[in-house]
Structure 1
Amino acid sequence: MFEQGMTRIHELMIILYALAIMLYFIDFLNQNRKANKIAFSILSIVWALQTIFLFLYMLETRRFPVLTLFEGLYFYAWVLITFSLVINRLLRMDFTVFFVNVIGFSIMAIHTFTPVQIESEAMAERLISELLLIHITMAILSYAAFSFSFIFSLLYLLQHRLLKMKKWNQRLWRLGDLEKLERFSYVFSAVGVPMLLLSLILGLIWKVITLPDVSWFDVKIVASFILLIIYGVYLYLKIRREMYGKPLALLNTAAFLVLFINFFLVSRFSSFHFWYS
């Protein structure tokens, strides 16, 4: 019962960790201080849970937990999150905090879901299944966010065409103004990118555990990272290059077509997502 309770706490930490990273990413893109404060609070909860677990483990083993690989991973993750909280509070280096916690999240996921540390075989199998479930759920949620982003870009292109053709009718006003459509498209992409990144991290961990013979250059893995890069370029052009308007909407539309191909076609030729065949 104690082992199962600790497992549930670790899974809760993974979910909270993922939420905090998403909020930090949104703050990094939009300078959203409210998102930063919420992310800091959630990360503080994760740190508190990690610290309590670390303290209880030290009481149980009566030693400092760094003698095994998995103990070392946990302590490493704890150090990362500790310093990231200090950096966030004192230096306001949000870019650094985001990437540090992506690493910390990866380490925590490896520590939580790798079955070597689990004594019960049934528990290990259940954890692997839950790892796959979280990976798929986060991927689908990111795809949903990208779909909304695509719809707003499509509406932007339609509105842009109607304005260019000077078709002043009721349909034009019901579509909404261009600025709002572009902003919503960007926001949903900004939500989808960190979710897809975290999903890929969990998916690679699952691959190492269950499908070690599958190539790292499997078409599904490569296509998923290409998709992440395309949406990353979209956000880069929007934020750093201050690109806007029709070219950005067209890029977002093309990115969604890549997503569509990745989801419906690429999986059929992959050894990674064999259940989609």
Structure 2
Amino acid sequence: MTDITMSRLHEWMVVLYAVSLVFYFIDYLNKDRIAHRNAFSLLMLVFSMQSIFLVLFIIETKRFPVLSLFEGIYFYAWLLITISIVLHLFTKLGYAVFFLNIIGFIFMTIHTFAPVQIKQSTIGDALISELLFIHITFAILSYVAFAISFVCSVLYLLLYRNLKEKKWTKQFGRLPSLQQTATGMKTGIIIGIPFLFISLVLGMQWAHIVLSEWSFFDMKIVGSFFILIVYSFLLFGIQTGRLRGNNHMWANIFAFLFVIINFFLGSTLSGFHFWI
């Protein structure tokens, strides 16, 4: 295979792995059979691609890829995905499969976009550019998911007030039900959290490759992790029943305000997020 083809396939592996994690997260929370099946199908596709590359490497070099840190990271990621598939098929340790794949995704990302990989590749600049593109894409998708969740929360509160006060307007019949808005609000959070997590992993890898000096305590990074923690606690409160009714809707509205603040103010105060 040509260098550019190999690089593209590795990039696709990272993207497919990321989408698989999103489906696993949905299944982890809701026990969704369709999400479960989609997650495993994508995971098997990633595993097949990884295995093919591993076999080709062994045939070409006549050894296992364990003689350098760069090779070891790939082999470690392959072992993690192999173990997760075995657990998926022969046990009921769904939580273990999910968390193993989070670790596997991180190591797969490190391998694909590692500085040594960039230097050895004849399309190093393109790899860096595409890593940034994927990072930004997942970040935007997470913001879209949180925005949809925010809109559903606002609609829920409006519907609740109209029902409580028994106000029936002409537009009322075109509005969704309370159940639909509550489901939309929760779904937006469930999708947004893994998308934001994936974006942060890819973004820090990009910074490590491209920037000679960068800080983990950059305002944009700190703000993004803060948002991730806020929404995680919000989802935990919803799942455990500690936040109910209007309370979790208001909490979600305030959480989205942090997203807006981080998007504009965090980017302004950041040392390297210049596109704002």
TM-score range, shorter chain: over 0.9
Deviation of 1:98 (Å): 1.4
* Partner residue in 1 for 2:12: 12
Distance in structure 1 (CA, Å) of the matches to 2:23 and 2:262: 26
Partner of residue 181, structure 1: 181
Superposed displacement of residue 212, structure 1: 4.4
The equivalences for 1:121-160 within 5 A come to 122-160=122-160
In the alignment, which residue of structure 1 is the partner of 2:164?
164
| 2: CA distance, partners of 1:267 / 1:223 | 9
For 1:126 and 1:83, the matched residues in 2 are separated by: 33
Aligned partner of 2:225 in structure 1 is: 225
Query: Which shifted more, 134-143 or 164-173?
Result: 164-173
Is the Cα–Cα contact under 8 Å of residues 115 and 124 in structure 1 kept in the other structure?
Answer: no
Stretches of structure 2 that go unaligned for 5 or more consecutive residues are: none
Shift of 1:173: 2.9
CA shift for structure 1 position 242: 5.5
Question: Which deviates more from structure 2 when the two are superposed, residues 36-45 or residues 168-177?
Answer: 168-177
In the aligned structure 2, how far is the partner of 1:200 from the partner of 1:179?
A: 32
> How big is each residue's C-alpha offset from its partner over 1:141-199, in whole Å with a ceiling of 9 and x where there is no partner?
11111111111111011111212222123333322221111111111111111111100
Q: Which amino acid aligns with 2:167?
A: K
SS at match of 2:140: helix
Is contact 1:13-1:49 (8 Å) kept? yes
Q: What TM-score, normalized to structure 1?
A: 0.95
TM-score when normalising by structure 2: 0.96
Deviates more, 1:82-91 or 1:48-57: 82-91
Name the amino acid aligned to 1:243: L
Aligned residues: 276
CA contact (8 A) 2:3 2:122 kept: no
Deviation, structure 1 residue 91: 1.5
Specify the alignment match of 2:239 in structure 1. 239
Aligned to 1:215: 215
Gaps of 5+ in 1: none
CA contact (8 A) 2:13 2:49 kept: yes
Aligned-partner SS, 1:265: helix
Identical pairs, percent:
49
1:51-66 superposed matches below 5 A: 51-66=51-66
Instruction: For 2:173 and 2:166, locate their aligned partners in 1 and report how far apart those are by CA, in whole Å.
Output: 12
RMSD: 1.4
Partners of 1:31 and 1:111 in 2: CA distance:
31
Q: Does 1:108 align with 2:108?
A: yes
> 3-state SS of the aligned residue for 1:72?
helix
Distance 2:159 2:78 in 1: 50
